[in-house]
A and B are shown apart, each in its own frame.
Chain A
Amino acid sequence: MTSQRSEEWKLLERMSCEFALRELRTGREERDAHPFAPLDLDLLRKGEELGFFSLLQEDGEEAPANLRALNLILENLSMEDAAFAGAVFTHSLSQMVILQAGRADVLDKLKAKAAEGGTAEGRLPLVAFPSFDAPGETARGLRAEKQDGNYLLTGKADFVVLGSMAAWALLPARTMGVEGFSFFLCPLGGEGVEAGPAVLSLGLRSCPGVDLVMKGAVSSLVGEPGEGARYYGSAADLLAVSAAAMSLGVMKGSLREALQYARQRVQGGREIINWSEVRMILSQMSLHCRTGEMLLAAVMQEMAEGKPGWEVSSRAAALQVQDMACQVVSDGVQLLGGNGYMRDYGQEKRFRDAHQLKVLMGHHPLRKLEFLRLAEDIDSH
């Protein structure tokens, strides 16, 4: 890594902290009222200008370091508003799948197209993705048919994240005569794609998913036909740790707010932090946060060194941290008592976000079951 690059990342990290505190903390409640309040696209544009969405733009030597920067940013953003981080993550996941398909050039083209204003009006230069589902499941609902060098997509894709605001979607679909599924890039906001209203969900409300109905939408194949599972598998290995980083950010945000509150709130004649049961809960939260940080650091280290089995570690970190986060955020609400349950404080949103983040990249128990298979594979090698 060049020293100039390392300076850039440091800067980015600092910026993400400041951005989280300045831009994300304020207006969080209003943004979270989506779909009953409009999306704040300007905020996403700001994030884009700051470079949060283009960390994975290129493949190659810098990739592990870029990923490290992405994870730090996701963690910082999630401390204040995991929904914003959810947008960064989803776009990054799309990018990563495209990169794993060996098509860095596609990303360049999208960038160029956006620069020359070639996207549907009002849409951001982002790539939507059904990031809460295993793509194999989504592909069951979508069919791709080849026509004049392009593909036409038909069927339905549920809960495509960013589908209401992104200029493109990366969608898994099946093609006649091809085993498995393939990925297709489809422009949004034009003909052949109908986007439903934002689907109301537990958390991450300002990073909504929509159901897309594809009626012969012109799309282009990304990578080789039938290789979708392989591309997604490699992308998931790399970005599982990023999903963990988001859950970790939410946990740390929850701990920070709980600590602040416990130092100020007085009950029974003392600041509640001085009741040993409160301290015990805070300690438990802190322990989980520290364990999460250690897990992430270890995985990033293994990735950077290319240590055999890092993929399994990355997935393990995601499963573990997503689980811990649900416990931490619940305690985080609890320590604020009745106020923790109210939207005026950040804790209730973190509670909802962490539970939704647990499903990021698919069904948690199934990923656990799959984990054993992956771990066995690695062990047997």
Chain B
Amino acid sequence: MAALDEPRSAAKSELEDAIVSLQALQRIPRAVLRETRQALEEAKRFNREVIRPRALELDMKMQEDPDYLPWDFVQEANRRGFYTMFIPRLFGGRGYNIPALSCVLEEMASACTAMANLVGVHYLGIDTLAASWNMRLMNKIMRDVAEGERVGQPRIVSLAITEPEAGTDVEEVELLSKAKVTCRVERVKGGRVINGRKIFISNGHLSTWHMLVGYEDLQRPEETTVMLAVKTGTKGFSFGRMEKKMGQRACPASELIFEDCFVPEENVCFDYGYMDRMVRWLGRPRRSVPEYTSQVIHYVLSTSRAGVAGFATGVARGAYEEALRFAVETEVGGKRLIDQEWARCLLAEMYKNVALARLSYVETNYANSLYGMFKVLQWKPMFYILKLTPRKMMDSVVAPFLNLGAVTWLFRKICLDGQKDEEMQRTSGWASLSKFAASDFGLRNCQLALDLMGRAGVLFDQGAEKHLRDCKLLQIYEGTNQLNRLNLFNCLIGRSLPGVRAFEE
């Protein structure tokens, strides 16, 4: 972390923060562009054929019957390969570049954020799994997802961190030390036993795998974090209530209940014991245990927040498109809206909001590609090896190696220990920036659409009010926008100010 007494390195960091995309130009494989176009084409077709025709109908259905589960949608997304689209081919997936995920989510959310979430949240789970670099477990679960696609039985993944008394607190390691967490993971012979509750878990009821974050010592959660994969149907694990939400209704937010739930050791994704070993093995380790925990949290959030920014850009765009359609079709005060200058300026403002929201996630994804989770995958030689190796060879020759502990160790060494603090801060800072900027732009656009449309804007069948309801959530989950502002401060501003410590005031 640069300090004021090191002005040159601080200035250098700041420069690097500012020119992420310029740096990326040279280093991103060219095929990324073509592939992103293909992914977008698929998403557009999905929008046309599935999402748009069903968005309002499904939202209405959920109002009528809040316990309805949209299995048919999940089946369809599974059939079309959206749950493996961004899983690397190494793990049996379709292997599209991960930055394209934000674009796909934008596209889907422009029609319905809830349905986009039914796809996107699965990758939040996948991200969490990947952030641990536990190659054996990644191989197991991601291949299970791919198998689910092959046999027509969706096996999607959720992420469960939030607890009734700890929401913001579990998103930041500095706060975690003070959190009132209750989800306890006990070490027993052959595995772990979990007791506790998680709430607000998106796609919970629909998921097969749940990436669960728990703690061995509830008094020292920051030192004893454990991440496990729990499969639906495991004894001692059940679903509780499904929340009744204002918007994004089609995507369930579930309560997960664990009562003496045994999880075998092979499903432990990451725990402080590993971090402890890392610290000891490395002699002069880069980080302490809580710092490694923090790094993993940042790793996950740096990618998932870019996804939320994708949703937000989509909803900003959806609202803009509704407003534009209305302005072209409607006379207000005796004149078509589109022929009134104030309305044109308002539409221009909305267009700007969409464009800036999009730029913010693009920049974040560049940061992730250069310094964060996608770095290995976007490294040109690796990118092309993964693309060009025949699938059969990948499955039969390469995949078995992934089960070796040494491979996990190697990847953790390269990806976790190899990431500098400054790089972590850059990706995390940008991710927070794009998350809160895009969701604020999104909400603003929804409000502007309602303004422009007048009474029509608040009517369900016109679609704009749904965007507003859906969008508000984007300012809350993946850390509230306040937390994200503070994270940006900590990562990109406070780091070079002497005596400034995160969450101390």
Contacts and interface: CB of A to CB of B under 8 A. Distances in A.
Contacts of A281: 482
Interface string B433-461: 00000000001000100111011011111
Contact of B452 (A266, A338, A352, A365): A365
Interface stretch (A87-95, A215-223, A342-350): A342-350
Given A326-B447, A352-B246, A352-B469, A334 B455 contact: no
Interface stretch (A10-18, A43-51, A53-61, A354-362): A354-362
A36 B64 contact: yes
Given A343-B246, A358-B450, A199 B459 contact: yes
Interface in A174-230: 199-203
A127 to B, nearest CB: 19
A149 interface: no
A340 interface: yes
B178 interface: yes
A267 B168 CA distance: 7
B63 A267 contact: no
A261 interface: no
Interface residues of A, number: 46
B337 to A, nearest CB: 9
A338 B476 contact: yes
Interface string A234-268: 00000000000000000000000000000000111
B338 to A, nearest CB: 14
A351 interface: yes
B167 A355 contact: no
A203 B447 CA distance: 14
A203 B459 CA distance: 9
B477 A338 contact: yes
Interface in B332-391: 332-333, 342-343, 346
A298 B447 CA distance: 28
A281 to B, nearest CB: 8
Nearest to A329: B472
A146 interface: no
A133 interface: yes
A103 interface: no
A363 B162 CA distance: 41
A339 B369 CA distance: 34
B10 interface: no
Interface in A107-156: 132-133, 137
Given A277-B486, A342-B243, A202 B476 contact: no
Interface string B159-182: 000100111110000010011100
B363 to A, nearest CB: 25
B246 A348 contact: yes
B460 A201 contact: yes
A337 B165 CA distance: 11
B472 A341 contact: yes
B317 to A, nearest CB: 20
Contacts of B274: none
A268 B169 contact: yes
Given A334-B481, A365-B342, A342 B244 contact: yes
B69 interface: no
A341 B459 contact: no
A276 interface: yes
Contacts of A362: 454-455
A351 B472 contact: yes
B459 A201 contact: yes
Given A202-B465, A334-B481, A352-B469, A359 B458 contact: yes
B159 to A, nearest CB: 14
Interface residues of B, number: 53
A267 B166 contact: yes
B104 to A, nearest CB: 24
Contacts of A277: 482, 485-486
A330 interface: yes
Contacts of B245: 341-343, 348
Given A338-B162, A341-B245, A343-B245, A268 B454 contact: no
Nearest to A347: B246
Contact of B60 (A200, A355, A369): A200
Nearest to A201: B458
A179 B496 CA distance: 71
B200 interface: yes
A27 interface: no
Given A200-B60, A202-B468, A364 B482 contact: no
B232 interface: no
A137 to B, nearest CB: 8
B419 interface: no
Contacts of A202: 450, 458-460, 465, 468-469
Contact of A200 (B243, B451, B459): B459
B480 interface: yes
B503 interface: yes
B451 A365 contact: yes
A333 interface: yes
B394 interface: no
Interface in B216-250: 243-247
B505 interface: yes
Contacts of A342: 243-246
Interface in A55-71: none
Contacts of A278: 482
A203 B458 contact: yes
Given A266-B165, A268-B169, A132 B455 contact: yes
Given A200-B461, A201-B460, A341 B476 contact: yes
Contact of B458 (A266, A268, A356, A365): A356
Interface in B169-197: 169, 175, 178-180
Nearest to B175: A268
Contacts of B175: 267-269
Interface string B39-77: 000000000000000000000100110000000000000
Contacts of B180: 266
Contacts of A358: 450-451
Contact of B455 (A133, A330, A338): A133
A314 to B, nearest CB: 20
A136 B472 CA distance: 34
A1 interface: no
Contact of B332 (A158, A334, A338, A366): A366
A159 interface: yes
Most buried by A among B162, B454, B476: B454
Interface of B: 60, 63-64, 162, 165-169, 175, 178-180, 199-200, 243-247, 253, 332-333, 342-343, 346, 443, 447, 450-452, 454-455, 457-461, 465, 468-469, 472-473, 475-477, 480-482, 485-486, 503, 505
29 contacts: A33-B63, A36-B63, A132-B455, A132-B458, A133-B455, A159-B459, A200-B60, A200-B460, A201-B458, A202-B468, A267-B169, A268-B178, A269-B175, A330-B475, A333-B476, A338-B476, A341-B245, A341-B473, A343-B244, A344-B244, A348-B245, A348-B472, A352-B469, A356-B458, A358-B451, A359-B450, A363-B454, A365-B342, A365-B343
Given A158-B455, A352-B246, 10 more contacts: A137-B332, A200-B60, A200-B63, A202-B465, A202-B469, A268-B175, A338-B477, A340-B476, A355-B450, A363-B455
